[in-house]
Structure 1
Amino acid sequence: MPSSTRELQELLDIEDLDVNLFRGRQPSTSLQRVFGGQVAAQAMIAAARTTPGKTVHSLHSYFLRPGDTAVPIIYDVENLRDGRSFATRRVVGRQHGRPIYMLTANFQVPEEGLEHQDTMPAVRPPEEGFSLPDVLRSRGATEGLGEWEEEWAALDVRYLGNTKVGGVSEDGDRPARAQVWVKTEGRLSDDPLEHVAAFTYASDMTLISAALVPYGLTTASRGMQVASLDHTIWFHRPFRADEWWLYDQHSPAAGGGRGLVLARVFSQDGELVATVAQEGLIRKRQTS
């Protein structure tokens, strides 16, 4: 995985192969399957490359198969609609001749309109949060920690806790809640698409963990099989992914081996800049 912001920028700079056809490179990684945030970000960039003059306001996607980290991903973009205000694209990510990911994204010509938003919750600042390696150390999960830190060094993540550990408020009838501050480790360019892509990459990192909060489990807990099934983002306002953004996550329901997580994304000055939704597999393997 990218160990610096520069490597993350290189990973997201996909290659143009032909009209509406792109190739995404793979990072050096010890992961056994492609990180979902990577394929989502690369597919979104592929769609954006075909919609000049418009910016993405929503994406909806499915993770179909585990990706192979040893070979590039081919992104085939289909033009579904080009209107005066909106454009819609469908992207299929393929490896070994089979689809591994499918995305539909909608783009809009920027315009002014009515505005309102949720109020940002009262939280501790990023400086008072804990890095994820520190959280893992506190849980005694030290095996392979150095390798883990290297894999995710392109992102600065500060964990504030959840409704089981860390004192995060249950927020009324929401017992499964977790909060983290996130930004890229270094500075990005001023290209808005680069910030949207970097955010999309990071948005898959901690979400499904919120569905495990009520059970005192994590994605690394013994006997758990965890994987992202789908991923949706609505972008409300432009923001910088290299400045702190709050990931206020809660899981409204789990059942059938799946957990649903919703998240509000706030800039540090209190603007609601995006909303994210994801359903993931949270299956407990049978042990003999």
Structure 2
Amino acid sequence: MDREEGKAAQSPPNLGALLANPRGGCHCCAVTEFLGQVPLLQCLPSSSIRRIADAVLVKRYEPGGYVAREGDPVDGLYIILDGQAEVSAPANTEEENRPDYVLNKYDYFGYGTNSSVHQVNVIAVSKLTCFVLPNQYGHLLQPKTIWSAEETPENHSLLEQILHLEPLEVDIFRGFTLPGAPTFRQALAAASKTVDCLKAVHSLHAIFLIAGDKNLPIIYQVHRARDGTSFATRKVEAKQKGLVIFTLIASFQKDELGFEHQAAIMPDVPPPEELLNLEEIRERRLTDPRFPMQYRNSAAKKKFVPWPIEMRFCEDSASQHKPSLNYWFRARGKLSDDPALHRCVVAYASDLLYSGVSLNPHREKGLKTYSLSLDHSIWFHKPVKADDWLLYVIDSPSAHGGRGFVTGRMFNRQGELVMSLTQEALIRRAKTPGQPSQTPRPKL
């Protein structure tokens, strides 16, 4: 059954009626939602789209009326809200160069032209309503990044730099792999940038197919599987050298009121302020006489680069053989206020130690292992702030056949369950020296 069946009759807001009878926030949200479905605008930060919604003008035309005339100055970006318009070249244009076609809802013109005047005529075919973004607001179409309109990535958290993507075309982005930077978070970022900013991701499912090359960029191709009133679905293919290395399915939902309950209870653990972070733990170990001097000298010589996620573990090292792990975490540095960015950051943080918990009961001196993620699923239950403390509760109920299975829950400081997660990973003993290396490229 379609996920929107069974609801009380609910039609999308009549934007034309709202424009005729504006009612404050309702009008603004409707305009923002419409603009968020225009492909040209979807890669913009949500703050830019909201500012564009405040700046656009409404223009109406009767059938046969000229929307733009050849030679007239380009006065802004025109976006078709309702009706149709025909683009026609001047009569003296050669036949093979005549750009005759029809513009429909969500189509646009007047942006990206190299001329300050219109090169063609645009004529209303039917009653036509357009949004017009005047030229003085053109800077809103050229943000510094996909997450921030005003600031470059260097002014923000390293995580924001990791999750930065370069839009190549509509629904196509380029990202770069970095050590310790799982790429499905970039795929989620790409999917988020093709959905209107009033819809937030509520679930994602990633399947990893073949190992990627961290020295090459990744191309993210987003497929628009569905756009509904309340939900939108995106499929993302991540490609290197023309091969799909993993796929991601993400579902987005517009915020709505509904039934609520929470059976999950946050474990009773010390607050993060009473716990040590990784840097402090390292410093203590370097001076702890219980650790061999050889280990301490070796650790002191290694360059220590802090992760972009700050972690504080709730249990001491005596618990490292349990198939479970609890720790607080938050993003380091300043994050832009885009809610989609915060969900991408938390998705990034979810996999840093996740599958390793399934190896905890099997750890022993001298054991060397390697692991690869096979699939990863996340459900977002409530809004989340990645730069506030979150408690990550991880359990591994099973490992078998070279696969480890883990489940996770994330709670905010108020004890609210904000996310649930599952993952299965390939976990194997590393090959000993002298064994022939026959590691296949495919993961499965």
TM-score by length of 2: 0.56
Q: 2:259 is matched with which residue: 84, 91, 114?
A: 114
The residue that corresponds to 1:49 in the other structure is: 193
Match of 1:156 among 310, 320, 344: 310
Find the counterpart in structure 2 of residue 226 from structure 1: 371
Distance in 1 between residues matched to 2:211 and 2:156, nearest whole Å: 25
1:76 aligned to 211, 218, 221, which one? 221
1:96-142 CA distance string (max 9 Å, x none): 11111210000111111111121111011113334335656757485
Structure 2 stretches lacking a partner, 5+ long: 1-152, 286-290, 434-444
Q: 1:223, CA displacement in angstroms?
A: 2.3
For 1:188-229, what per-residue CA distance to the aligned partner results, in whole angstroms no more than 9, with x for missing partners? 1221111111111111101112111222359xx642111211
Which residue does 1:124 correspond to in 2?
A: 270
> For residue 185 of structure 2, what is the amino acid of its counterpart?
A
- The separation in 1 between residues aligned to 2:431 and 2:234, in whole angstroms, is 41
Match of residue 92 from structure 1: 237
Give the equivalent residue in structure 1 for 2:110: none
Contact 1:157 1:180 in 2 (8 A): yes
Q: Is the 8 A contact 2:156 2:336 kept in 1?
A: no
Q: Structure 1 pair 45/167, CA: closer, same or farther in 2 (3 Å)?
A: closer
Residues 137-181 of structure 1, C-alpha deviations (whole Å, 9 max, x = no match): 75748558854x42x43110112237x82499xxxxxx6211111
Partner secondary structure for residue 315 of structure 2: strand
Q: Aligned with 1:94: secondary structure?
A: strand
Provide the C-alpha distance between the structure 2 equivalents of 1:134 and 1:254, rounded to a whole number of angstroms. 32
Q: 1:72-119 deviations in whole A, cap 9, x for unaligned?
A: 110001111111111111001111111112100001111111111211
* Residue 64 to residue 134, structure 1, CA distance change in 2 (3 Å): farther
The aligned residue for residue 23 of structure 1 is 174
Distance 1:268 1:260, change over 3 A: same
Distance 1:165 1:4 in 2: 40
1-structure distance, mates of 2:355, 2:281: 17
Equivalents in 1 of 2:155, 2:319: separation in Å?
29
Shift of 1:41: 1.3
Pick closer, same or farther for the CA change 1:167–1:255 going to 2, 3 Å. closer
The answer to whether the Cα contact below 8 Å between 1:3 and 1:154 also exists between their aligned partners in 2 is no
Residue 197 and residue 165 in structure 1: after superposition, are their counterparts in 2 closer, same or farther (change >3 A)? same
Check the 8 A contact 1:5/1:184 in 2, yes or no: no
> Does residue 237 of structure 1 match 2:382?
yes
Residues 1:165 and 2:318 aligned together: yes
The question of 1:276 aligning with 2:421 is answered yes
Task: Give the whole-Å Cα distance in 2 for the aligned partners of 1:235 and 1:59.
Answer: 9
Question: Contact between 2:405 and 2:423, CA under 8 Å: does it hold in 1?
Answer: yes
Aligned residues of 2:370 and 2:430 also touching (Cα < 8 A): yes
Aligned equivalents of 1:3, 1:234: Cα separation in 2? 30
Is contact 1:65-1:100 (8 Å) kept? yes
Q: Which has the higher strand share?
A: 1
Please state whether the residue corresponding to 2:355 is helix, strand or coil.
helix
Moved more, 56-65 or 129-138: 129-138
Alignment of 1:194 onto 2:366: no
Residue correspondences, number: 269
Task: Provide structure 1 residue ranges, at least 5 long, that are not aligned to the other structure.
Answer: 169-174
Give SS of 1:229's match: strand
Letter in 2 for 1:161: E
Secondary structure of the residue aligned to 2:269 is coil
1:214 and 1:3 map into 2 onto residues whose CA distance is 41
Separation in structure 2 between the aligned mates of residue 217 and residue 4 of structure 1, nearest angstrom: 43
Offset of 1:244 from its aligned partner?
0.6
The structure showing larger relative contact order (alpha-carbon pairs under 8 Å, at least 6 residues apart) is 1
The residue aligned with 2:164 is 13
Question: Secondary structure of 1:157's match?
Answer: strand
Q: Percent identity?
A: 40
Q: Deviations over 1:7-53 (max 9, x none)?
A: 321221211111211111344xxx4xx632xx121101111111103
Determine the C-alpha separation between the residues in 2 that align with 1:134 and 1:222: 26
Once the 2 structures are TM-superposed, how far is the Cα of residue 269 of structure 1 from its aligned partner? 1.6
Which of residues 331, 336, 346 in structure 2 aligns to 1:184?
331
Structure of greater Rg: 2
Task: Name 1:204's counterpart in structure 2.
Answer: 351
CA distance in 1, matches of 2:362, 2:301: 24
Distance in 1 of aligned mates of 2:253 and 2:159: 26
